[in-house]
Amino acid sequence: MQRAIHIFPQLQNISLIERLRKKYDPLYGFIPPHITLVFPFESEIPTQKLEQHVRNSLARVHPFTIQLQRVTASFDRYLFLNVKKGNDQIIKLHDLLYSGPLKNFQSRSHTYTPHLTVGRLKSDEDLEAALNHTQTFETSFETVVTEVKTEIIEGNGDSTIEFTVPLS
């Protein structure tokens, strides 16, 4: 089964993000806005064992504030809403989770950059147009991260929450 681990930020003005995602993100409608901590991986690790790993890994992590602002592009035509506050804490969560049974799933060919994906474009021209369109998107989004969720990615792309682990 395919899984991933995310932060699903609880934002008051999330409809602004969803408008961007509806226009630019092929995953719009399949999964809510999220910050990925562990990227999709194929595994038959039993739910109980995976949940225990997540709980143990995050046992000493306390809730923290994040702020998201400004849309930029990645080299592979993604549009990111950037993390401006809480970046170090998110990287810490990422590093803690990619240990034990998840260690072999971590890609060493990419540097982890915390972000919330708002789009994935098919061409450089589409990316340039999206960047022009989002140039004035300056809204700042802030919330407190209090939990992480593990999802199961269904065959049709739908996201089902497998379990939630609160931060202590």
pTM reported for the whole predicted model = 0.95
Locate 167 and state its tokens.
């931060």
> What residue numbers bound the domain in which 19 lies?
2-166
The rounded average pLDDT for each run of 10 residues, N- to C-terminus, in the chain (168 residues) is 97 95 96 97 96 98 98 95 98 98 92 96 97 96 98 92 96
Which of these, 131, 37, 40, 139, lies nearest to 87 by C-alpha position?
37
pLDDT attached to residue 157: 86
Q: Report how many domains make up the chain.
A: 1
Burial class (CB in 10 A: 0-12, 13-18, 19+), 146: middle
| CATH number for 91 | 3.90.1140.10
